[in-house]
Amino acid sequence: MADRRVQISVFDDVAVLTIFNPPVNAGSVAVRRQLLEAVQTYSNRPDIIALVLIGAGNTFIAGSDLKEFGQPLEDPQLPELIAAIEQSSKPVIAALHGAALGGGFELALGCDARIAAPECMVGLPEVTLGMIPGAGGTQRLPRLIGIPKAIELICAGTRVPAAQAFVLGAIDALTSDDLLMDAIAYARHARKRRVAEMKVADSDPDSVDAAKRVALSKGRNRPAVADAIEAVLNAQRLPFAEALHLERAVFQRLRESREAAALRYQFFAERSAGKLQALEGVEARTVETVGVIGAGTMGSAIAAAFLDAGMRVTLVEQTAAKLSAGYALLSDLYERQVKSGRLDPAARDARLASVKATLHYEDLASCQLIVEAVFEELQVKLDILHKLASVAGPQTIIATNTSYLDVDVIAAAHTYPENVCGLHFFSPANVMKLLEIVDAERTSPTTLATALAVAKRLKKVPIVARNAFGFIGNRIYSAYRRQAEFLMEEGASPYDIDSAMEAFGFAMGPFAVADLSGLDIAWRMRKAQAAQRNPEARYVAIPDVLCERGHLGRKTGAGYYRYAEGKREPDPLVLDLITEYRADNRVVPKQFTTEHIQRRLLLAIVNEAALVMAEGVATSEVDIDLAFVNGYGFARWQGGPVFWAKGQDPAQLREEWAALGVVSGPGVPLGDLSVLGI
């Protein structure tokens, strides 16, 4: 039967219920209904002494069907199924392999025992999706592993290997052999052991407090952390049934929240990122050895990104001194990871052993991909491309990490321009998820497919951009930054603007970001473009004045902020300078509310997004949301700028957007918002 989602086989006296819902056995309504029927039927059969639940293929229930979460849930819901398992007089054993996450793990926790393949991943990631577990996870897990550990794992949504979960007490037995046969043997000797009836172990209040503190401080992108902590604490404070009821009510409220919808949207956006229909059937080239030219800030971290993915790296610099400095950047990066316990020394040694640091371009001959990350100067990049002619054959992919330069011009300097694309990493390149892939005029489908395969291997979130100034991300970000400067000129202080955007959910406001990147980079660019600038365009010279006075950002101890012992604080000198500038330009400062600042800057982003889409630089508005969340510190739980805009009252949005055009002047054309579906 096509909709048969649970297959039943009887092994003498044990009924095995196999969940079959490819590809990941998601816990859909059909799965729940059929499991419920089977549990009730086989529990009542006198010839059956126990039941085993297992997943078909290579996983248990890897999670609930997230698509269902956007609508009213259909019955039977998961708590009802779990209640039936608990009410059954027969022991029900969960046999886990692959992944048992979210509702899948809650189902397992509702069983009388859990037996698992050691590498199976278990966990409750609901908090990462703006919810809390809603089928007893916050009540049963603390009964097995204690309150502090449950707070830690639930609030971070950690996926734990079963071998570790066994040590913690969440798994009863591990199997290294035949999971099904082991589970059947285990079931024959099992008794009813309802987790719900267990007592929650007393825990040391200090460790509970510590777990709460860590969870709250790391929960920036997880709006439900505080609710999750309360739910777990209820396990100790309230009778099981009451706490379970409360958990469900909170889950239902959060499931319907805007934040959860935004996080689900991002989840699906990430899953479909980089899947281009046009590339169907196009084979990617193998990439195992990578050359990185330029071992500065970007090159050293790009090398780490490849090493972390298990590839070999040849690192090229222009002088011996630069080479050893670049290698030191790379080894220091790993040293810090070892010191903080994120990497073990053996892994560091293995990674560094996979690097060849050299001054000779001939050493790049064996590389399947070469990424250049040298200075942002066209001539320097063109010289590199010429030099590569002798070492990069027709099969070698060449990528430029340029932020703004013309990739078509760079590609034209190579014998095989079809092999050239942009791989625009974000800093720090080994950490930031976004990877902007520039599909230049002559980039071949094979090159693009290879770049996308590389992104996947590096566990990056890829977006594909056409070649254009600033591509997608930097182009839109500069419109945001320019609008922030307009607001500063009109009366808002950079500190008010930053705190407004941080309150909205940005990791950092635009001026704090500018300080971090260095104000001189944008300054240099403004000077280079001065001749082409529309003389009618509105231009705020405050950043130029700051640079002229040596305020180049964090690296000089002063930018928009001043930095004393690494601490960022408002700088009265900067405020004076702005006041003076306004007076010189006869600007009467206005007062702005936090909401005005937020909405105006978000609209500036959305407007530029519409232009970028209309010009074909981006092909989907979803890519713009992916870019902002994964590369520019936009709060994930806000979904992204376009997602945000779609949730606003359209009439108000259009009114504010028209006003944005008026204050911004002729330098900021208004796009057509309908291309974004607004």
Per CB under 6 A, the list member of 375, 393, 550, 650 interacting with ligand NAD is: 375
Looking at residue 43, the DSSP 8-state letter turns out to be H
Q: Which residue is nearest to ligand NAD (CB)?
A: 296
Scanning 241-249, 368-376, 549-557, 626-634 for contacts with ligand NAD by CB under 6 A, the matching segment is 368-376
DSSP string covering 106-156:
HHHHTSSEEEE-TT-EEE-GGGGGT----SSHHHHHHHHH-HHHHHHHHHH
Scanning 96-104, 367-375, 492-500, 576-584 for contacts with ligand NAD by CB under 6 A, the matching segment is 367-375
Query: Is 126 a residue of the active site?
Result: yes
Q: Does residue 181 sit in helix, strand or coil? A: helix
Looking at residue 102, the DSSP 8-state letter turns out to be T
At closest approach, how far in Å is the CB of 291 from ligand NAD? 11
Which tokens hold the place of 75? 């019955």
Per CB under 6 A, the list member of 373, 399, 421, 602 interacting with ligand NAD is: 373
Residue 427 or 446: the one with the smaller Cβ distance to ligand NAD is: 427
427 near ligand NAD, rule: CB under 6 A: yes
233/504 Cα distance (integer angstroms): 29
Q: Which residues pair with 289 in a beta bridge?
A: 312
Residue 131 or 298: the one with the smaller Cβ distance to ligand NAD is: 298
144/149 Cα distance (integer angstroms): 10
Q: Nearest-CA neighbor of 544 among 520, 576, 528, 561?
A: 520
Angle, in degrees to the nearest 10, between helices 345-353 and 297-308: 110
Window 432-471: contact mask with ligand NAD (x via CB under 6 A): ----------------------------------------
Question: With 0-12 CB in 10 A as exposed, 13-18 as middle and 19+ as buried, what is 199?
Answer: exposed
Scanning 53-61, 207-215, 374-382, 551-559 for contacts with ligand NAD by CB under 6 A, the matching segment is 374-382
- Rounded to 5 degrees, what are φ and ψ at 190? -85, 155
- Which of 37, 68, 74, 126 is catalytic? The answer is 126
Per CB under 6 A, the list member of 374, 458, 463, 678 interacting with ligand NAD is: 374
Per CB under 6 A, the list member of 368, 396, 401, 598 interacting with ligand NAD is: 401
Judged by CB under 6 A, the chain residues 240 through 299 that form the site for ligand NAD are 293-299
391/388 Cα distance (integer angstroms): 5
452 and 284 Cβ atoms separated by less than 8 Å: yes
Residue 322 or 526: the one with the smaller Cβ distance to ligand NAD is: 322
Q: Does residue 203 sit in helix, strand or coil? A: coil
Looking at residue 153, the DSSP 8-state letter turns out to be H
Angle, in degrees to the nearest 10, between helices 572-584 and 473-490: 80
Q: Where are the alpha helices (DSSP H) in 491-593?
A: 494-504, 510-517, 519-529, 542-548, 572-584
142/150 Cα distance (integer angstroms): 5
Residue 29 or 365: the one with the smaller Cβ distance to ligand NAD is: 365
Residue 108 or 399: the one with the smaller Cβ distance to ligand NAD is: 399
Residue 77 or 297: the one with the smaller Cβ distance to ligand NAD is: 297
Query: Is 106 a residue of the active site?
Result: yes
Residue 306 or 643: the one with the smaller Cβ distance to ligand NAD is: 306
Question: 92-96 and 113-116: which strand pairing?
Answer: parallel
Scanning 195-203, 376-384, 445-453, 650-658 for contacts with ligand NAD by CB under 6 A, the matching segment is 376-384
- Which of 37, 68, 80, 106 is catalytic? The answer is 106
Judged by CB under 6 A, the chain residues 294 through 323 that form the site for ligand NAD are 294-299, 316-318, 322
At closest approach, how far in Å is the CB of 330 from ligand NAD? 12
Which residue's entry shows tokens 């991300």? 473
Site size for ligand NAD, by CB under 6 A?
Answer: 24
Summarize as ranges the residues that interact with ligand NAD (CB under 6 A).
Answer: 293-299, 316-318, 322, 326, 373-376, 380, 384, 401-403, 425-427
Catalytic residues: 106, 126
